[in-house]
Amino acid sequence: MQSSVAETASPKFGAAFDAKWVVIGISLVVVAILALVPFCFMIWQSFHTPETASSPSVFTLGNYVTAYTNPETVAIFWNSVQFALGTSLLAFVIGTALAWMNERTNTPLRRLFFALSIVPLIIPGILFTISWIMLASPKIGLLNTWAMAIFGLNSPPFNIYSMWGMIWVDALHCSPMAFLLMSSAFKAMDPSLEESAVMSGSSILNTLRRITLKLAYPAIMATVLTLFVNTIASFEVPALLGLPAGIQVFTSAIYQAIHQYPSQIGLAASYSVILLLLTTGGIYVQSRISSTGSKYATVTGKGFRPRTIDLGLWRYFTMAIFIVYFLFIVVLPFLVLLWSSLQKFYAPPSVEALSRITLDGYRYILGSESIRNAVLNSLWMSFATATAVMLLAAVVCWIVVKTKIRGRWLLDNLASLPMVFPGLVLGVSIMIFYLTFDIGIYGTFWIILLAYVTRFLPYGLRYSTTSMLQIHKDLEESGGMSGGSWFTVFRRIILPLLKPGLVAGWIYVMIVSIRELSTSILLYSPGNEVISIVIWELWENGQYVELSALSVLFILLLLVLVGIAQMAGKRFGVKDS
Amino acid sequence: MLNVSGLHTEYVSDKGVVVKAAQDVSFEVPEGQLFTLLGPSGCGKTTTLRSIAGLEKPTEGVITVSGTAVYNSAQKVFIPPNKRGFGMVFQSYAIWPHMTVFQNASFPLEVGQKKYSRKDIETKVMRVLDSVELAQYADRDATRLSGGQQQRLALARALVMEPKLLLLDEPLSNLDAKLREKMRFELKKIQRELGITTIYVTHDQSEALALSHEIAVMRNGRIMQIGTPRQIYETPNTEFVADFVGTINFIKATVRSVDAAARDMVVDSEIGTVQVPMIHDFHVGEEVQVCVRPEDVHLSDSTPPVSHTNHYLGTVFAKIFLGDVLDFQVQVNDKVMLARVHPSQKTPVGAPIHIVLDPSDCIVLKQEN
């Protein structure tokens, strides 16, 4: 059958066939370079001494010996695990409680719960951490000042520079993610599974224990693991809160190893490999649980709405809990940044301080050319990243979903490989590679762009794959039957149908890349800063007022971008992720 | 045995609109009977069933079972669903995927108020699994059952606790056509054998006719008519019921004359003069619908030998061969009627045809706008 089709095909068909293979070949090569090369090279580097002007790089196990025998490493390992576990569990408890309140009870203010899905996008990690330092640091923290004044204490009750402080801040920051994951788990549960237990005579507690929790088990494990992998790769919190207290985790240790003099690249590389093993292990376990959990996937019939538990007067109590949470996660951080941006020098709020309100901080930010450059850099960088990512993702997901090319699973895994990389580790590996193989991009704008595209390709791929899976084969085939070449069909049928997923992915990648820090912090150079880097530098210089002004403006910019995303989502008919 | 009186249930939809799902629903079901709530989607039948189960909280009304009230709005009685002892089969079956077939069926005996020994549980469960022919799958993972098997397991689970009342929410709608017909027989057999009072919800009118002792046809939250299957089919009280259950021809007409003594009427209709029985009190000039089932439209090629009162001449508009019957569309004046005849009727399309309607087959209803 195949041969007869080829024989009767028009000459034009033969030429288009080549175009297809060229495109496929190029994308394979690009993805391989992006994903594999830095990764392999980092492993290579971990086994070699750093190349310096005086001595070439030699093979050594010294890095790993140092890493494993150094007692500090054990401390780093335990700190990392403690930090990640503590944060995951706390974020999980908070997120699940909120998800249960929202999905299964008649707690009021349901609309406000949905704002939780955009809060983490609007307030990046570095701003959230800094704002909590301003709230709970022993010296300048507002909550400490007030608590001491109100309760007449001698010493500040809260110390954010501690393991508990780190856990608290990162757990708060991650909790919306836990909320979203557990919410969708609760939504996906067929309510008739619980109702039939009730009809069979089971009490509410029994139903929870024997049915609900057992059914939610895969979702619970997946959520905790996602949080764990996320936290162990977290950089801002350990760097800003842990280092001043002498608490090192892998990410902050890697950063310090690089910023020492002389730079301990080999050590950084071996730490990175260990961290990579932890994240890969976590992701692997998670994917195994997801695949066995799929037998629990319930197909709801008519989808009768789940029975919400009537809490009676207790629902005002749960509403209060939610309001307090919202204060902690959005209102207080934003207000403290706003307050500090309006001061000449940082001071806790008082009537007297109110009289000293000034817009100097904003004037500085808006007047500084280097900061304006950074903003333009950020916008341009995220624009370029989003475009490159979505174009590449469109081709890759077409290959993976629509063709029968052998080894396309390899392409899919390669493109998704960067997901196991903590942002910092990706920065390390790219830095090392392009330092050694100097093609002239180290220290330029392009290396950051390369890193961003690598890092965010998996996210773009997820959006375009979801869209691609919904394009029925018939639509393509009828295009071919009507006489279109492969390229025409791709351009005029596939791409337009992919548009909603591509647009949604583009906007999402743009938003997450514009607030990125942990990858660019090792790759930037003067003149190539992005907004997050500028904030970092201002913090290191102690310029709290200017930093707060920039933060406030940054949050407003992100709010605008997310608003556009929501509008575009409605227009292109895409549900929010 | 079950008495529902003045039931009102409402809920708030996603858009914040209050939906009056069940309004003033009242009916009674004697012991051992199968009572069906029949109607299109959104008519309130499932809401009514769930209100009886206790999964929905009504706003007003009384529900009593064997004299005990499980819900009484005036006296503020509401027995929670897990204390009512009703067996329920959900439309999606709600089989728990993390348990085996045996564990699914034994659950009600383990969590109920009455405590059973392990031996008792095993005996009861195996007995009920046997009755639905699932005994050999007892140790199998519940997810590894086919649709029909899952449905039988759901039924077994509902029956194992020997409930006072059995509630079935469209239990056959997820099965394919052949399986559905088979299960219809099974369900009827089990229900009649056990003599368990059953409330059945469905939108499929043939299911309702086949299984029920009595049917309540519902629309927009209200009960339109309650009756035996035959009563519902042969004497519908509204256009909606006439059209929803089976197929029917609606012929618009106006009353010309009334014979109160003989309980007869003559009406002028789209197809001509029709003589019909007078079931309700109509008066001259009133607009009515003459409703005739397709199987009651008698066709013949030639003039019938005996003269009939309702005799018309029409042409064959279309024919559809269905194997066991032949559907004719016949046109009289501008009106096209559906007739269902034996496949031996060979009149070709476009040919003239004689149509006879027996007056006793004509159901006359008030014309609704």
Which chain A residues are Cβ-neighbours of B171 within 8 angstroms? Answer: none
pLDDT above 50: residue A515 = yes
Contact status of A313 with chain B (Cβ, < 8 Å) = no
CATH topology of domain B247-358: OB fold (Dihydrolipoamide Acetyltransferase, E2P) (2.40.50)
At A299-323, the pLDDT tens digits run 444 445 566 776 777 788 888 888 8
Would the CB atoms of A201 and B87 count as touching at under 8 Å?
no
Would the CB atoms of A200 and B161 count as touching at under 8 Å?
yes
> Which of A110, A192, A199 is the best residue to mutate to test the B interface, defined by the most B CB atoms within 10 Å of its own CB?
A199
Nearest CA in chain B to A207: B111
State the nearest Cα–Cα gap between B94 and chain A, in angstroms: 5
Mean pLDDT, residues B101-106 taken together = 92
Would the CB atoms of B108 and A201 count as touching at under 8 Å?
yes
Pick from B4, B113, B1: nearest CA to B52: B4
Confidence band of A52 (pLDDT split at 50, 70, 90): low
Would the CB atoms of B92 and A299 count as touching at under 8 Å?
yes
CA B34 to each of CA A574, B201, B216: distance values in angstroms, whole numbers, following the listed order: 46, 10, 11
Would the CB atoms of B91 and A201 count as touching at under 8 Å?
no
Which chain A residues are Cβ-neighbours of B82 within 8 angstroms? Answer: 198-203
State the nearest Cα–Cα gap between B115 and chain A, in angstroms: 12
Confidence band of A480 (pLDDT split at 50, 70, 90): confident
pLDDT above 50: residue A546 = yes
The HSE-up count of residue A172 (CA atoms within 13 Å, CB side) is 25
| Cα–Cα distance for residue pair A277/A273, rounded to 1 Å | 6
Residue labelled with tokens 């009861």: B124
Contact status of B172 with chain A (Cβ, < 8 Å) = no
Confidence band of A181 (pLDDT split at 50, 70, 90): confident
pTM over 0.80: no
pLDDT for residue A55: 60
pLDDT for residue A91: 94
Would the CB atoms of B143 and A211 count as touching at under 8 Å?
no
Architecture of domain B2-243: 3-Layer(aba) Sandwich (3.40)
> Which of A192, A196, A210, A221 is the best residue to mutate to test the B interface, defined by the most B CB atoms within 10 Å of its own CB?
A196
Confidence band of A297 (pLDDT split at 50, 70, 90): low
Pick from A162, A173, A89: nearest CA to A131: A173
Would the CB atoms of A300 and B92 count as touching at under 8 Å?
yes
Would the CB atoms of B97 and A298 count as touching at under 8 Å?
yes
pLDDT for residue A217: 84
State the nearest Cα–Cα gap between A311 and chain B, in angstroms: 14
pLDDT above 60: residue B254 = yes
Per-residue buried b or exposed e for A165-192, using 16+ beta carbons within 10 Å of the residue's own CB: bbbbbbbbbbbbbbbbbbbebbeebbbb
pLDDT for residue A54: 57
Name which of A398-412, A436-450, B166-180, B276-290 the model is least confident about.
A398-412
| Cα–Cα distance for residue pair A290/B139, rounded to 1 Å | 25
The CATH 2.40.50.100 portion of chain B extends over: 247-358
Which chain B residues are Cβ-neighbours of A201 within 8 angstroms? Answer: 82-83, 85, 108, 111-113, 161
Nearest CA in chain A to B95: A193
Would the CB atoms of A200 and B82 count as touching at under 8 Å?
yes
Mean pLDDT highest for which of A12-26, A407-421, B238-252?
A: B238-252
Name which of A68-77, A389-398, B106-115 the model is least confident about.
A68-77
More confident residue, A494 or B62: B62
State the nearest Cα–Cα gap between A206 and chain B, in angstroms: 8
Contact status of B111 with chain A (Cβ, < 8 Å) = yes
Contact status of B16 with chain A (Cβ, < 8 Å) = no
Nearest CA in chain B to A296: B97
Asked whether B44 and B220 are in contact (CB, 8 A), the reply is yes
pLDDT for residue A89: 94
How many CB atoms lie under 10 A from the CB of residue A506? 23
List of residues 6+ apart from B67 with CB closer than 8 A: none
Nearest CA in chain B to A213: B98
Mean pLDDT highest for which of A399-403, B141-145, B224-228, B276-280?
A: B224-228
State the nearest Cα–Cα gap between B108 and chain A, in angstroms: 5
At A109-163, the pLDDT tens digits run 777 777 777 777 788 889 999 999 988 888 878 888 888 888 887 788 888 899 9
At B301-350, the pLDDT tens digits run 888 878 778 899 999 999 999 999 999 999 998 899 999 999 988 889 99
Q: Residue A123 phi/psi, 5° resolution?
A: -115, 100
Of A192, A215, A302, the CB nearest to B98: A215
pLDDT for residue A10: 38
Which chain B residues are Cβ-neighbours of A305 within 8 angstroms? Answer: 11, 14
Mean pLDDT, residues A337-361 taken together = 78
pLDDT for residue A53: 57
Contact status of A406 with chain B (Cβ, < 8 Å) = no
A positions 183-202 inside 8 Å of B (CB) = 190, 192-193, 195-202
B positions 287-346 inside 8 Å of A (CB) = none
Of A193, A211, A301, the CB nearest to B91: A301
Contact status of B37 with chain A (Cβ, < 8 Å) = no
At B11-39, the pLDDT tens digits run 777 666 788 888 999 999 999 999 999 99
State the nearest Cα–Cα gap between B236 and chain A, in angstroms: 29
Asked whether A514 and A531 are in contact (CB, 8 A), the reply is yes
Contacts 24+ apart (CB under 8 A), A531-540: A531/A374, A531/A375, A531/A378, A532/A124, A532/A126, A532/A378, A533/A374, A534/A370, A534/A371, A534/A374, A535/A126, A535/A127, A535/A130, A536/A126, A539/A126, A539/A130, A539/A240
**Residue A276 carries which side chain, given as an amino acid letter?**
L
Confidence band of A286 (pLDDT split at 50, 70, 90): confident
More confident residue, A445 or B191: B191
Residue labelled with tokens 């496949």: B343
First and final C-alpha spacing in chain A = 43
CATH topology of domain A1-46+363-577: MetI-like fold (1.10.3720)
Of A193, A195, A296, the CB nearest to B55: A195
Q: Give the H or E element holding residue B366.
A: strand B363-366
Q: Based on the number of CB atoms within 10 Å of its own CB, is A397 exposed (0-12), middle (13-18) or buried (19 or more)?
A: buried
A positions 237-266 inside 8 Å of B (CB) = none
Which chain B residues are Cβ-neighbours of A199 within 8 angstroms? Answer: 53, 55, 81-82, 84, 86-88, 158, 167
Q: Give me the total of CB pairs closer than 8 Å, taking one residue from chain A and one from chain B.
A: 83
Would the CB atoms of A192 and B94 count as touching at under 8 Å?
yes
Contact status of A472 with chain B (Cβ, < 8 Å) = no
Would the CB atoms of B90 and A196 count as touching at under 8 Å?
yes
> Residues B22, B27, B30, B35: is their CA dihedral positive or negative?
negative
Contact status of A214 with chain B (Cβ, < 8 Å) = yes
| Cα–Cα distance for residue pair B262/A474, rounded to 1 Å | 66
| Cα–Cα distance for residue pair A276/A426, rounded to 1 Å | 10
State the nearest Cα–Cα gap between B356 and chain A, in angstroms: 45
Contact status of B94 with chain A (Cβ, < 8 Å) = yes
Mean pLDDT, residues A248-277 taken together = 84
Would the CB atoms of B111 and A210 count as touching at under 8 Å?
yes
Number of residues assigned to chain B: 369
pLDDT for residue B281: 83
State the nearest Cα–Cα gap between A183 and chain B, in angstroms: 17
Which chain A residues are Cβ-neighbours of B80 within 8 angstroms? Answer: 198
State the nearest Cα–Cα gap between B313 and chain A, in angstroms: 48
Mean pLDDT highest for which of A283-297, A356-370, A464-478, B278-292?
A: B278-292
CA A402 to each of CA A30, A172, A415, A465: distance values in angstroms, whole numbers, following the listed order: 20, 41, 16, 10
Of B90, B112, B157, the CB nearest to A192: B90
> Residues A256, A258, A260, A264: is their CA dihedral positive or negative?
positive
Q: Give the H or E element holding residue A495.
A: helix A495-514
The CATH 3.40.50.300 portion of chain B extends over: 2-243
Which chain B residues are Cβ-neighbours of A292 within 8 angstroms? Answer: none
Mean pLDDT, residues B173-180 taken together = 86
Asked whether B187 and B207 are in contact (CB, 8 A), the reply is no
Cα radius of gyration rounded to whole Å, chain B: 25
State the nearest Cα–Cα gap between B95 and chain A, in angstroms: 7
Of B87, B111, B174, the CB nearest to A202: B111
pLDDT above 50: residue A9 = no
Residue labelled with tokens 């929202």: A102
